[in-house]
Amino acid sequence: MNPRPSYAIGTGLFILLGFAALAYLATQTTSVANIHRGNSYLIKARFQNIGQLKERAPVKIAGVRIGDVQSIALEPQRMDALVVMSIDKRYNDIPDDSSAAIFTSGLLGDQYVGIEPGGSPTFLKNGDEMVLTQSAMSIENLIGKFLVNGGPKSSGTDAAPASATPPASGKP
Amino acid sequence: MSTNLRRHWMLQGIASIGECGLFFVAVLGAVPKSLRYWRELARQIWFVGAMSLVIVMTCGLFVGMVLALQLYYTLSIFGGTAALGTVVALSLFRELGPVVTALLVAGRAGTAVTAEIGLMRATDQLDAMSMMAVDPLAYVASPRFLAGLVAMPLLACVFNAMGIFGGHLVGVSWLGLDNGTFWGNMTSTVDLHKDVLDGLYKSVVFGGVVSLIAVFQGYTAPPTSEGVAYSTTRTVVFSSIVILAVDFVMTAFMT
């Protein structure tokens, strides 16, 4: 048995360092928590307009992330968007009369689903659907209404609720 | 007439691409046989990987630092400096880490491999090996090719880690960004599969490309001092071009 060549130690150290760097990148700089979510349940919500909401967008209650958007699909008959959200099992006591709305984080940030808890004593279960939803605010719609209505006097009051119902006419 | 046509530079270029492809197949075919020489493989990983660590770590640190400075300036125009950690991490993982590491390795290790094999060819060492029933493809070419394939992604990871460290140094310690904002925005946006692993796949491909070009140029170098010099230069030029072109194609497919 001849002695180990000296470069073997260098090679081993290099490979260990490389994998240590990979482990560091994978655990410290990424959202690994999203991938290792084993225990979660699904709830559904229908929106008339989801705006720029994307899959894997966060779902939040009171600003705390409790899950993410799993899939977005168009319901052909009703022509609205079916958003399936996967929620962490730890938060299994969301009242079933809670409402879901699509918000934008910051002025130009990504969109997320915010859940406003209701007061019902029964909780949402796997596969349940949230009935009360509010669509994404579209800045284009707001600006359009503002221009059509011709001034801040009327648009300031009706723009927000009108955007939730797309076929609404511009006039109050 | 026909010799003139055969000397046309375009046909020559196509012919050398074809030769390189055939050489690639031959090297791949010699890989099982070359595993017998695993000590040679370990020595090559040491040479390509461990010996490149210092330059890769230094460059990673500086790239991360300059990235943080430049992006801080750009982001401050839009009032989005909170996204500095995210932007530094994404540009490093997805683009700069694999590409700059590959360019560095092509310059540091690729040239050495070409010159070494070219001189082996010039001094008839490769022919001597075949006469001793040692396949030079399995003993010389394949270990160097595999070493590039293994070492490149590991080096890219080290580069990325140092880049993040450099970006943190400039962003948080120097420019006074909040530590929690820096890491929090980064961890919430950077994705393991789409960002870290896609960058890693890129650098595996770059490792294969760089070491294939280096070995091929050395193997086919004209056996003169001038020929070896030209081949070494060609290794750097071709590697750089192919890295950047392949990077564009892979990015287009991955995003």
**DSSP letter string, B86-97:** HHHHHHIIIIIH
Length of chain B: 255
Q: Alpha-carbon distance B68 to B89, whole Å?
A: 10
Q: Are residues A66 and A22 in the same domain?
A: no
* Structural domain of B202: 2-254
Q: Which residue has the higher pLDDT, B44 or A166?
A: B44
Predicted TM-score of the model (pTM)? 0.73
Structure tokens at B66: 């300059």
Task: Please give the Cα distance from A141 to A160 (Å, whole number).
Answer: 10
Structural domain total, chain B: 1
Q: From chain A, pick out residues whose CB is under 8 angstroms from the CB of B154.
A: 14-15, 17-19, 21-22
| Same-domain status, A121 and A149 | no
Q: Are A23 and A44 in a shared domain?
A: no
A83 and A114 co-located in one domain = yes
Q: How confident is the model at residue B98 (pLDDT cuts 50, 70, 90)?
A: very high
ipTM: 0.82
Residue whose token pair is 């994978």: A26
Q: Mutate which of A15, A16, A30 to test chain B, going by most B C-beta atoms within 10 A?
A: A30
Residues A22 and A57 in one domain: no
CATH number at residue A55: 2.40.30
Lowest mean pLDDT of A73-77, B8-12, B88-92, B107-111, name the range.
B8-12
In the structure, what pLDDT confidence band is assigned to residue B35 with cuts at 50, 70 and 90?
confident
What is the span of the domain harbouring residue A11?
1-30
A28 interaction partners in chain B (CB closer than 8 Å): 183, 187
Together in a domain, A46 and A104 = yes
Residue A36 backbone zone (phi > 0: left; psi -120 to 50: alpha; other: beta): alpha
Q: Write out the two tokens for A112.
A: 């997320």
Residues A129 and A167 in one domain: no
Band of pLDDT at residue B160, cut at 50, 70 and 90: very high
The series of mean pLDDT values per 10 residues for chain A, 172 residues long, is 70 90 86 62 88 82 86 87 88 86 76 87 86 79 80 50 46 46
For residues A7 and A69, membership in a common domain is answered with no
pLDDT digits (tens, 9 = 90+) for B179-216: 878 887 888 788 888 889 999 999 999 999 999 999 99
Question: What is the chain B residue with the closest CA to A18?
Answer: B154
- Give per-residue pLDDT as tens, B207-232: 999 999 999 999 999 999 999 999 99
Same domain, A127 and A145: no
Of B68, B148, B159, B67, nearest in space to A17 by CA: B159
Domain shared by A23 and A51, yes or no: no
Asked if residue A61 and residue A114 are part of one domain, the reply reads yes
The structural domain count of chain A equals 3
How high is the pLDDT of residue A162?
A: 44
Given B50, B189, B192, which is nearest A26 (Cβ)? B192
Is the pLDDT assigned to residue B158 strictly greater than 50? yes
Would you call B46 and A26 a contact, using CB atoms and an 8 Å cutoff? no
Best B37, B45, B51 member to test A by mutation, with max A CBs in 10 Å, is B45
